[in-house]
Chain A
Amino acid sequence: MGLMALFRRTPPSASVAKERLRIIVAQERSGRGGPDYLPLLRRELLEVIRKYVKVEPDAVKVHVEREEGHDVLELSVSLPGKAGS
């Protein structure tokens, strides 16, 4: 620290805090909001589907969208492409 510190340009710490918070809060929000049963639901669905089709463990995606007044449970299952096609 010395006179030179006066001339060094560092961003105000509050804007650094704001940026960090914006990122971490967005990240943490995206990981919640879904009901607690989602992981179990996903696992059981995967087991059922695997009885009939051979799919990858990450083939089943379960997602809850919050819309005006109601929630939408979205399921997507990607099936393996036909061999050779």
Chain B
Amino acid sequence: MTEIIVVTSGKGGVGKTTTSASLSCGLARKGKKVAVIDFDIGLRNLDLIMGCERRVVYDFVNVIQGDCTLKQALIKDKRLETLHVLAASQTRDKDALTAEGVRRVLDELAAEGFDYIICDSPAGIEKGAHLAMYYADRAVVVVNPEVSSVRDSDRILGLLASKTERAEKGNGGVKEHLLLTRYSPRRVAAGEMLSVADVKEILGLDVIGVIPESTDVLTASNAGTPVILNEGSDVSEAYTDAVERLLGTELPLRFVDEPKKGFFARMFGG
């Protein structure tokens, strides 16, 4: 069975692509056959985050329009054998993506035996975002603990519940999960930032992961290495936990509490 997971958020810049890259790497590391697709037509970026930007020959729209085969367009990851990337097209033609075209590509990936298809949604609620979520079985809604991101996420939840194939056909709807990024336990403790519990309560969803705010995310994107592969870092561990939860393992949330300060730190204000 192929499972289609959309990574979406409404608001831009909250970490959809970072999350798509890390979740797909994490799933591939567990031996799953994974394809990650960039739906941000005109603003391709997943290739950079995955570090395969110089290997893009054909893209998603080329496959849809029949300029090449799916096999030709899929970029095999150099680190993980079972991971494949399908880049977005840089065309400015908004109608290049069609529902039938997307369906065909997803069906072909399913026939090829892919276990997971991760759809990296563009920001907004336009066509690209709509098509990225339309065929999804599950959704990972990426949210920053910040008012505009939370509100936009709720808007996206409304669309997931009405404008998806599962919603329209009444197949039990899309299973939704929250993933918080840029979380700062210190600021939460100081009452300056919405907590996991706050966001969970407002949106009414289960939390599949909490990714702490960290400089490692920028460092990883600079290098073109999905941050989950930066082993040993908090962000990597947090994404690894999220992958385990996606696969059904129950794990307590980590990196949500402020680390206890030692004696010296307390005395001298660390």
Contacts and interface: CB of A to CB of B under 8 A. Distances in A.
Contacts of A12: 190-192
A17 B158 contact: no
Interface in B131-157: 146-147, 150-151, 154-155
Given A28-B154, A33-B158, A33-B161, A14 B198 contact: yes
Given A12-B191, A33-B162, A18 B155 contact: no
B158 A20 contact: no
Contacts of B146: 17
B194 interface: yes
B194 A14 contact: yes
Do most interface residues of chain A lie in helix, strand or loop, or is the interface mixed?
helix
B188 interface: yes
Q: How large is the interface on A (under 10, 10 to 19, 20 to 34, 35 or more residues)?
A: 10 to 19
A22 interface: yes
Do most interface residues of chain B lie in helix, strand or loop, or is the interface mixed?
helix
Nearest to B191: A12
A37 to B, nearest CB: 12
B155 A28 contact: yes
Contacts of B162: 32-33, 35
A17 B154 contact: no
Contacts of B161: 33
B1 interface: no
A29 B154 CA distance: 8
B151 A18 contact: no
Contacts of B154: 25, 28-29
Contact of B193 (A14, A22, A33): A14
Interface centre among A13, A21, A29, A33 (most CB of B within 10 A): A21
Given A14-B194, A29-B158, 17 more contacts: A12-B190, A13-B191, A14-B195, A14-B198, A17-B146, A17-B147, A17-B198, A18-B194, A20-B147, A21-B151, A21-B202, A22-B202, A25-B154, A28-B151, A28-B158, A32-B158, A33-B162
10 closest A-B pairs by beta carbon, nearest first, are A12-B191, A18-B198, A25-B154, A32-B158, A21-B202, A14-B191, A17-B147, A14-B194, A21-B150, A14-B193
